[in-house]
Structure 1
Amino acid sequence: MFEEATVSEPPTYDPMLPDDALGDFRPALPSEIALLPLAGLLAYPTMVTPLAVSHPSSVQLVDEALAAGELVACSTLRTPSRPQQIQAAALFPMGTLAVVHRLLRLPDGTLRVAIEGIDRIQIEEITQHTPYLRARFQIVPEQLGDAQASAALVAEVRMLAQRMLAQLAAPSDDLPAQLASEHDALRLAYLVASHMLFRSPTDERESILSAPTAQAKLQLLRDILSREVGRFAQRAHALSAQPAEPPLADGEQLLARVRASAMSAEAKAAASRALGQIRQGAADPRAAAAYVEGLLALPWGQRAGPPADLGQLRQALDAAAYGLDEAKALLVDHLALRRGESLPETVPCLVGPPGVGRSHLARALAAALGRPLARVSLAAARSPADLLGGPAGPGLIMAALARAGASDAVLLLEDVDALAPAARAEAAQALLAALDAPRSLRDGYYGVAWDLAPALVVASAQVWEHVPPAVAARLEPVALAGYALGEKLAIARRHLLPAQLQAHGLHPDQLRVTDGALRVAVAEYTREPGLRGLDRALGTICRKLAAEVAEGRALAMRLVDEDAARAYLGRQRHAPDELAAPPRPGTVPALLLTPEGGDMLLVEATAMPGGLGFMLTGHAGDAVYEVAQAALSWVRAEAAALGLDAGFFAAHDIHIHIPSGALASDTPALGLAVAAALASLARGRPPQARLALAGALTVGGRLLPAPGLRERLLAAQRAGAASVVLPAATAAELAALPAELRGSIRLVAAQRADVALAAALA
């Protein structure tokens, strides 16, 4: 039998939604739409309904709708049916056009989603059954009916609903306030139907959706609520005269499991209250049972293993993750601090561009500790409820810990810099509960305190400057800048290539890749600080070799050298040596920090007869304009000392082009490169070949530090630079750089811009 979606908690409703929001939302709709059939459940317009989706065809439907941001149609089945047998007649005539919101995938493959009703629709014809249902439909506009009669019905239905709530345990703590504040007839009807008719037959609940006007809906609700209030009064009278009914067998079993569990006293009390509501008929049995099962599934007191030996931990990290020595040392130091009586004040945050090993290092840390890894993607958090739970279900953090099955899991809070802009401040505030000592979390769905202290909390971010300030104050950044060429070759040999061989069913004796081939893959097919592109390139080589083996065309052992690598990988994607062309006057390579790590950008300057001023294009924000103006002012003021024609700038208009891509915080580091481009242009002499610059410039000619030396030098190495001119203060970072990186590039350190330009334009 087909039982598609079940409600796990009464729907929620946003009373702050403007009255005309529904009427204004009329997107261009296709003639056909994906259809999600519901069994025993109705979705109403203007309401958010949580669903548990388990049927494979509907799981695929939801995945594709979420990925494409498409609307779906929701319609309730008259009787349970298999998807292949569903026709329009098997569905109630009215359905709801809806938006699919956040997604949580449970270990058994079930999806927990929330659908927000947009419009009432009528299903006309089922047009597709595989891989999931699609149907033709039409919008059925809502009508108010008699305004005066509707206003009177609003007051009457609200009074009956409040009387019923006085006798029932409210499904939502916010429901009384929502009832009191809602004055729109249509939305009040759907609010009451969603929250208070869970004991009514499906066809009766569907009649509310099908009723032609808001007035008719309220009349039906008045009759239903009057009946239910009367029944409840009769039941209360009967219970007062008779002994209490024996509890349900399932309830007894759940209660026994609760009492035998290791959950806290507060959690046991909450579970007992939920089971008591089932016995009293005061709550949806499915929702209450799901709540108790969720509490039981949490890892109360379950720990994966004893405290780690720090010496063995460092050895395990070294074996699992090549390089990243500074990051591994900081993680070990953080674990050493946790052995004291109190938690460290900050949480380590792995910061770096994609592919540099943030997730890999967290997995290696969890494996070395013998603990599971609980991953929470904060990019999926659209509201505080997504993080800390709400009526629709548990939050991302508690769901991750439940999947991990251990209270001392390594909790990885990924992408703390990617919180949704619409709810950034609120979500960041909610996140502080997981970061501030004593790290006691209260999930909005479970409503009980959870001790996060046993968990090892680690965060990750791509761009540190994008982390909300309140969150950044609780984090200690651990920089993962990227890998030098030698490190990439070693990682490819030790980790990437063996993994790709195994994934493609190849034996190590069947393939030998030379160092030259690996250099070709790095220089000509990837241009990144991390390893993702290199891993994909090795996967392409292994995939094509596996095809040769399957077709009987492969030799006993395939040698992949530079030429073979190019043949396997196809068209070259990057020039292997960006600085091979002769330099030109007015064009200077600048080393900058971007969201993807370090990069080399060309700063270009040209001159035209005129003398009216200068023009800036490309990355032309106010901060860049100020940097360019300061550089131009200094070069003009020091023209004689720099050996430039003092009349050049008076007789020419200057055009400076700076490509976009640099982080806003790194804009000042363009100053030295802009000054060098202007001096080179005025002198008519190109800069040295294979040279790049980085450094902030003051109007007085001093050079200020340019942080991120490793990222900049890695970018210079990838571009083929032989020399880098940088501020003397930045050279203090040299000691932390790999010997390979220090030895491959000649570094020229200068305290003043005139010294730097003398070296750059010599």
Structure 2
Amino acid sequence: MEEQVITMPVVALRGLTILPGMVQHFDVSRPRSVAAVEKAMMGDQKLFLVSQRHPELQDPELKDLYQVGTVAVVKQLVKLPGKMVRVLTEGLERGELLGFDSEDPFFMGEISPMAPEQEDVEPMAKEAMVRILRDKLEEYGKVNLRAAKEILPSLLLIGDLAELLDQIAIQLPWDYTMRQTVLECTALSARYETVLQTLMTEMEVYRIKKEFQDKVKADIDQNQKDYILREQMKVIRQELGEDNSLSDADDYQKKAEGLKADKEVKEKLLKEIGRFRTMPAGSQEANVLRTYIETLLELPWKKASKDNDDIRHAEKVLNEDHYGLEKVKERILEYLAVRSLTKKGTSPIICLVGPPGTGKTSIARSVAKALNKKYVRISLGGVRDEAEIRGHRKTYVGAMPGRLADGLRQAGVSNPLMLLDEIDKVSSDYKGDTSSALLEVLDGEQNVRFRDHYVEVPLDLSQVLFIATANTTQTIPGPLLDRVELIEVNSYTENEKFHIAKDYLVDKQRERNGLSEGQITFSDKSLEKIIHNYTREAGVRSLERRIGDVCRKAARKYLENKKAGCIRITDGNLEKYLGKERITFEDVNEEDEVGIVRGLAWTSAGGDTLQIEVNVMPGKGSLLMTGQLGDVMKESAQTALTYVRSVCPEYGLADDYFEKHDLHIHIPEGAVPKDGPSAGITMATAMLSAVTEKKVLAKVAMTGEITLRGRVLPIGGLKEKILAARMAHIKKVLVPEKNRPDIGELSKEITKGLEIVYVKNMEAVVKEAFA
């Protein structure tokens, strides 16, 4: 059969598809489309209506149009203002657009009518298809109530399958692309599958849409219900005179909404405030919630102070507040410089280690002052409950946040300087390991989300500048020590103590005791005498107390005598204020003696000298040790004895000498416990002197550990030991060769007047020590 081709005007539709049997009106505004409609009205009133693939195109070409369209007849034409025409059309049959015969002034298309494909579909199959479509239409009506009421009754009455398919596509509010798909299906089975699939898709879309609408409506209804109930509760509370808690809840709500914090924090706060609203006034749980909400509101979640990054200013402040401590200041300034450049708080946490009274806490306070940071001091001495660090769970009676969270609340900002004082004195018990809780705090990788048991919301501690202090590293657990960077704050020399007293302590005690510079003065000699004869310490705490004692007595004397003149404190009248001299240093022996050697020791109060005495007596070869020696010193004594026995043949002693003689080692001040690894060569020298009856030089002191073969091992605490040697007027000090770099770091003020001899083995020690 030869293909029939009809030439007729073509109108391109935007966002609209006309199906056969569909009556539809639409507005035409493009000049080319208006001309095509007018051409049709002058003829048989037939048009070919075809949809654009892209509705936004103003001047479409053939490729921009769908190939299949509808031959329609114009039923009515109404001209509107603005050269616009409203057209009422009825679709007649499907047609295929083969091409354009002409394009100006309107499209004249070559159209090939598309007859329905002939299919052998049995009547039973058609009936089944009709029933399936009716079932789906009824399901569709359950999700689209408007369609169920206005459209579905007429559709359900249609019994012909072809008509039902076309009417479903015509009457249901489908998109033009869906109708175009149906239009292009000439076969009845293909059209059935397309309509059924489209109908099921639309059902699912409407079902999801309905779920969303129902959910939104439920939320709105719940909010409305909550508002009404809240207003009713407000009236009831006012009638009962219990409206205070409600006003508190409103106040908390307002503060929470204006709080600068993460979403997680705000959600937690608002949830707890909602619970607080429903609590009876005065109940125990309401009071717990009130305290918890106020704590969260007071914490500085995202409130930070601006740091002063001027390193020169920091250096000036440190120099004004502290005398000496050059290496400590230098390391702190380096630390601050790196922190200023990186803008991060993940650098190692500083730990200042040194004897009491050396200014560790005041250094931290000066750093806070230099950086313009808030200063918070947390004392960890004696803390043994992990809850002190992590806080108590708020369900417990008397629960409270941990010291860190409380410190942040006191500071009021999220980036204060937090001093962890005396971390070497934390302890553990059955309530938990305190030092383990500190591991998370002092780890820059973990403290970004530090969880306090009371607060329950993670706290960001990464912006906090932590500085820890300790007297010794011996009692700090290894994992905790690994997270800090140690800076040693060593003992002060007498000269440093003098300058500290003159420049800082005297003025401080004057002011504290209500005196002025015109009422009391201290001579340089008096300060030196207080340092030398009234205090024995590594720091300056006792020195400050002695100056305070003098100022108090002077204040009393000033008021009693009504004296207008100035009270002058000199080395001559100092005894009237402080009494007899309290400290006497054991001076160097006047004569060289056998079996007596001066050793050097480190103590928590600085350095000291130890006079080790050895006596030999007839016996059975035993070694007696007195003077409260610790395990380390006992082992050093045994090692020293073994070495001495191994070298005795070189000094002409009989082979059975030690089988017939006992050795007694004694270190004076027997009531004071002593222990440490630095007395090995001292005991070996004393033993060798006693058994060989050779004298040891009185003006020699030594420190170092010994091995079985007589090698000298390095030790620590050299600064304090050298200072002790100076105080005892020692002339020559023997130190291990491997400690040569440590001596090089000491100032000339400390080593001035001392002969430092470096020794590798006992032969060198004997050579320098024996007379």
TM, length-normalised to structure 1? 0.65
The separation in 1 between residues aligned to 2:719 and 2:388, in whole angstroms, is 37
Instruction: Report the counterpart of residue 311 of structure 1 in structure 2.
Output: 312
Instruction: Report the counterpart of residue 666 of structure 2 in structure 1.
Output: 657
Q: CA deviation at 1:419?
A: 0.7
Q: CA deviation at 1:577?
A: 4.6
The answer to whether 1:506 aligns with 2:515 is: yes
Residue 573 to residue 421, structure 1, CA distance change in 2 (3 Å): farther
Amino acid across the alignment from 2:386: P
Q: Residue 266 of structure 1: which of 260, 264, 267 is its match?
A: 264
Contact 1:271 1:292 survives alignment (8 Å): yes
Q: CA deviation at 1:644?
A: 6.8
Amino acid across the alignment from 1:383: D
Instruction: Report the counterpart of residue 469 of structure 2 in structure 1.
Output: 460
Instruction: Report the counterpart of residue 568 of structure 1 in structure 2.
Output: 577
Residue 424 to residue 643, structure 1, CA distance change in 2 (3 Å): farther
Structure-to-structure mapping, 1:114-133, within 5 angstroms: none
Residue 581 to residue 390, structure 1, CA distance change in 2 (3 Å): farther
Contact 1:635 1:675 survives alignment (8 Å): yes
Contact 2:357 2:538 survives alignment (8 Å): yes
Q: Residue 382 of structure 1: which of 381, 384, 393 is its match?
A: 384
Amino acid across the alignment from 1:514: S
Q: Secondary structure at the match of 1:330?
A: helix
The separation in 1 between residues aligned to 2:604 and 2:430, in whole angstroms, is 22
Q: CA deviation at 1:250?
A: 0.8
The separation in 2 between residues aligned to 1:643 and 1:513, in whole angstroms, is 61
Per mean C-alpha deviation after superposition, the further-off stretch among 477-486 and 379-388 is 379-388
Instruction: Report the counterpart of residue 182 of structure 1 in structure 2.
Output: none
Instruction: Report the counterpart of residue 586 of structure 1 in structure 2.
Output: 595
The answer to whether 1:681 aligns with 2:690 is: yes
The separation in 1 between residues aligned to 2:561 and 2:653, in whole angstroms, is 69
Contact 2:629 2:673 survives alignment (8 Å): no
Instruction: Report the counterpart of residue 749 of structure 1 in structure 2.
Output: 758
Structure-to-structure mapping, 1:444-455, within 5 angstroms: 444-455=453-464
Q: Residue 403 of structure 1: which of 393, 410, 422 is its match?
A: 410
Instruction: Report the counterpart of residue 324 of structure 2 in structure 1.
Output: 323
The structure that has the greater radius of gyration is 2
Deviations 1:415-468 (A, max 9, x none): 111112426972111101211123222111111111112211111111112111
Structure-to-structure mapping, 1:488-507, within 5 angstroms: 488-507=497-516
Contact 1:692 1:725 survives alignment (8 Å): yes
The separation in 2 between residues aligned to 1:552 and 1:742, in whole angstroms, is 47
Structure-to-structure mapping, 1:570-719, within 5 angstroms: 570-579=579-588, 584-641=593-650, 649-658=658-667, 667-719=676-728
The separation in 1 between residues aligned to 2:657 and 2:570, in whole angstroms, is 53
Contact 1:594 1:663 survives alignment (8 Å): no
Q: CA deviation at 1:354?
A: 0.6
Instruction: Report the counterpart of residue 441 of structure 2 in structure 1.
Output: 434
Q: CA deviation at 1:727?
A: 0.6
Q: Secondary structure at the match of 1:464?
A: coil
The separation in 1 between residues aligned to 2:406 and 2:732, in whole angstroms, is 51
Q: CA deviation at 1:555?
A: 6.4
Deviations 1:329-352 (A, max 9, x none): 111222223232654452110001
Task: Give the aligned length.
Answer: 522
Instruction: Report the counterpart of residue 95 of structure 1 in structure 2.
Output: none
Per mean C-alpha deviation after superposition, the further-off stretch among 681-690 and 508-517 is 681-690
Instruction: Report the counterpart of residue 334 of structure 2 in structure 1.
Output: 333
The separation in 2 between residues aligned to 1:543 and 1:580, in whole angstroms, is 39
Instruction: Report the counterpart of residue 426 of structure 2 in structure 1.
Output: 419
Residue 687 to residue 336, structure 1, CA distance change in 2 (3 Å): same
Instruction: Report the counterpart of residue 400 of structure 2 in structure 1.
Output: 393
The separation in 1 between residues aligned to 2:581 and 2:739, in whole angstroms, is 35
The separation in 1 between residues aligned to 2:694 and 2:500, in whole angstroms, is 42
Instruction: Report the counterpart of residue 225 of structure 1 in structure 2.
Output: none
The separation in 1 between residues aligned to 2:263 and 2:407, in whole angstroms, is 23
Contact 2:427 2:435 survives alignment (8 Å): no
Contact 1:605 1:654 survives alignment (8 Å): yes
The separation in 1 between residues aligned to 2:672 and 2:329, in whole angstroms, is 30
Contact 1:726 1:756 survives alignment (8 Å): no
The separation in 2 between residues aligned to 1:555 and 1:678, in whole angstroms, is 64
Structure-to-structure mapping, 1:105-184, within 5 angstroms: none
Q: Residue 365 of structure 1: which of 352, 364, 367 is its match?
A: 367
Q: CA deviation at 1:581?
A: 6.0
Contact 1:642 1:754 survives alignment (8 Å): no
Q: CA deviation at 1:739?
A: 1.8
Contact 2:427 2:433 survives alignment (8 Å): no
The separation in 1 between residues aligned to 2:551 and 2:249, in whole angstroms, is 56
The separation in 2 between residues aligned to 1:256 and 1:315, in whole angstroms, is 45
Contact 1:608 1:654 survives alignment (8 Å): yes
Amino acid across the alignment from 2:316: Q
Residue 685 to residue 288, structure 1, CA distance change in 2 (3 Å): same
Instruction: Provide the identity percentage.
Output: 30
Instruction: Report the counterpart of residue 356 of structure 1 in structure 2.
Output: 358
The answer to whether 1:519 aligns with 2:528 is: yes
Q: Secondary structure at the match of 1:747?
A: strand
Residue 373 to residue 641, structure 1, CA distance change in 2 (3 Å): farther
The separation in 2 between residues aligned to 1:614 and 1:516, in whole angstroms, is 48
Contact 1:520 1:566 survives alignment (8 Å): no
Contact 2:597 2:698 survives alignment (8 Å): no
The separation in 2 between residues aligned to 1:714 and 1:263, in whole angstroms, is 55
The separation in 1 between residues aligned to 2:518 and 2:761, in whole angstroms, is 57
Residue 399 to residue 643, structure 1, CA distance change in 2 (3 Å): farther
Instruction: Report the counterpart of residue 157 of structure 2 in structure 1.
Output: none
Q: Secondary structure at the match of 1:612?
A: coil
Residue 344 to residue 332, structure 1, CA distance change in 2 (3 Å): farther
Residue 388 to residue 564, structure 1, CA distance change in 2 (3 Å): same
Instruction: Report the counterpart of residue 179 of structure 1 in structure 2.
Output: none
Per mean C-alpha deviation after superposition, the further-off stretch among 607-616 and 533-542 is 607-616
Unaligned runs of at least 5 residues, structure 2: 1-224, 235-244, 394-398
Residue 554 to residue 612, structure 1, CA distance change in 2 (3 Å): farther
CA RMSD after TM alignment: 2.6
Contact 2:732 2:756 survives alignment (8 Å): yes
Q: CA deviation at 1:648?
A: 5.2
Per mean C-alpha deviation after superposition, the further-off stretch among 375-384 and 280-289 is 280-289
Q: Secondary structure at the match of 2:486?
A: strand
The separation in 1 between residues aligned to 2:227 and 2:403, in whole angstroms, is 46
Q: CA deviation at 1:580?
A: 5.7
Structure-to-structure mapping, 1:160-239, within 5 angstroms: none
The separation in 1 between residues aligned to 2:371 and 2:227, in whole angstroms, is 60
Residue 582 to residue 610, structure 1, CA distance change in 2 (3 Å): same
Deviations 1:90-134 (A, max 9, x none): xxxxxxxxxxxxxxxxxxxxxxxxxxxxxxxxxxxxxxxxxxxxx
The separation in 1 between residues aligned to 2:408 and 2:732, in whole angstroms, is 50
The separation in 1 between residues aligned to 2:551 and 2:707, in whole angstroms, is 52
The separation in 2 between residues aligned to 1:267 and 1:275, in whole angstroms, is 12
Q: CA deviation at 1:686?
A: 4.6
Instruction: Report the counterpart of residue 738 of structure 1 in structure 2.
Output: 747
Amino acid across the alignment from 2:289: A
Q: Secondary structure at the match of 2:730?
A: coil
The separation in 1 between residues aligned to 2:507 and 2:348, in whole angstroms, is 37
The separation in 2 between residues aligned to 1:567 and 1:389, in whole angstroms, is 53
Amino acid across the alignment from 1:454: Q
Contact 1:263 1:296 survives alignment (8 Å): no
Q: CA deviation at 1:570?
A: 1.0
